[in-house]
Structure 1
């Protein structure tokens, strides 16, 4: 069955097709005969005068995609699209920040329930921010502290002596992740910066030396393990995110990582979180559960000879058929 798929994402002109997971999902959908549309989340509009469910529209255009650098898409005429009537599946794939704009979009998309399938489920995405949802699985995490006061952070450091890592609670792609030496020489300046830049508290964890051996991205599809890559930091860098210069290598799961996946899988499936990427350091330390716009499937498929995009679309088609 051909589906009409609207992809809510950043401009197609900016896509780096060699490693972009959203683009890979679009290629996979198109190969199955699904029709693609692209729209910017900022064009969402909701009209409450159209009955109890209202009418949610966007300003979008039909697109076709191809894996040709510099000519990777063609776009038709923009038009008003009724996401409840004209579309079968919405892929919510715009990059964070996970701010009030992002949260508001999930509230609007949630109103499509029962008519149009939204992946990942918008209510679940809203209620499972990467560095907060993971706290439900603290037994797999390194010591973790969320706060704003420097006195609290210093007390945490006394209980967990050594270098620290400080990162924004709703950041992404390794941005604004800082290492604090054991003497705390830059702690005050960093906390001052965080207080001025973000209204929410920040996350603090001990620096894990194992990160030099990599930070594993593990992808689960509808709660089932699909594949993994190990991301290693670049020269002079402790962050392993590919977006900040990390490199990827093939990887298998450790027994501890298998235990983590088994613990998370049923809950992810129950919440409608179809495409999820979790991050694990040292083969055992769970640090994030990425649900907003997970990445990594292109590298995973390249190393493992798998087709994660097809697995994701299999899951989407099953969910859509059950609506």
Structure 2
């Protein structure tokens, strides 16, 4: 292909909100820099024996001042190795179909495709459990599906947060206190009666100051984070759970965490990472489709999306011929 092609593996375009979606922000930035923009929606990736991994690509032009915000100009079947850059932006749940898409993208990599984030790295970094690799920044935490162990943790830490390992957007996150009569049903729900592993952590009271999203791009921290403030009566700061986003400069602790993790995650093939930080504590390492570009851009003027596209351009400059 003569033009540089920036193609996102993404949820249906009709489900995206142009006012807040980070995928749209990065596609707009790429379009402004002269890239041809394409999307691969659910079910549009495949492999056939004797052929390369292929996809049905919808080629779009974007203009957020219009409704709809995109125009499909054409569709074509393309081998992924023929594309300049493929960006994995499909939202969780991290289910069997999500894993299958990473297998297909990894095969495309073997054939010569350039995929960001690296598919195997996405698979290898559970967004909740990866914090175990950076325990110096983590509050007391237990990962188990054993109800007695989880109850024992609550005895030791009488105010705690429990959550599934595969959730997103604040779904199924429970605040638990010692003696709560709902403890049994919460644990049964989270673990599906002992069939599913969950995480429980000591409650971090600094959540009142926000659950901060710190973005790493090619190992470097974006200078602003988005503090997601819980609405009154809530313990979750997630925007999807009604939280309010406030962009602010990184604190010294935010930067320390980011600068510690950044080079490590970059070396593993993770170009874009969203760290969740509450107070001085790392709570999640988001690698599937990190968000908050738009809010930081709108509130600070710092062009996160352009920083991301420029990072891809640098990666491609050093790519083997």
Q: 66, 70, 75: which one pairs with 2:67?
A: 70
Structure 1 counterpart SS, 2:81: coil
What is residue 79 of structure 2 aligned with on the other side? 82
* Structure 1 unmatched runs, 5+: none
Deviation (angstroms), 1:196? 2.9
The separation in 1 between residues aligned to 2:220 and 2:196, in whole angstroms, is 32
What is residue 46 of structure 1 aligned with on the other side? 47
The separation in 1 between residues aligned to 2:152 and 2:192, in whole angstroms, is 22
The separation in 1 between residues aligned to 2:221 and 2:272, in whole angstroms, is 10
What is residue 158 of structure 1 aligned with on the other side? 155
The separation in 1 between residues aligned to 2:228 and 2:247, in whole angstroms, is 9
Q: 116, 120, 130: which one pairs with 2:117?
A: 120
In the TM superposition, what are the counterparts of 1:168-187 in structure 2 within 5 Å? 168-187=164-183
Deviations 1:46-96 (A, max 9, x none): 12323xxxx1111221111111363200113333222122x1111100110
Deviations 1:195-215 (A, max 9, x none): 339953011011212111211
The separation in 2 between residues aligned to 1:73 and 1:303, in whole angstroms, is 24
100-109 vs 136-145, which moves further = 100-109
Does 2:267 match 1:253? Answer: no
Does 2:312 match 1:311? Answer: no
Does 2:200 match 1:204? Answer: yes
Q: Is the Cα–Cα contact under 8 Å of residues 41 and 105 in structure 1 kept in the other structure?
A: no
* Structure 2 unmatched runs, 5+: none
Does 2:144 match 1:143? Answer: no
Structure 1 segments of 4 or more deviating over 6 A?
A: none
CA RMSD, aligned part only? 1.7
TM-score, reference length from structure 2 = 0.94
In the TM superposition, what are the counterparts of 1:271-290 in structure 2 within 5 Å? 271-282=268-279, 284-290=280-286
Aligned residue-pair number: 316
The separation in 1 between residues aligned to 2:66 and 2:180, in whole angstroms, is 46
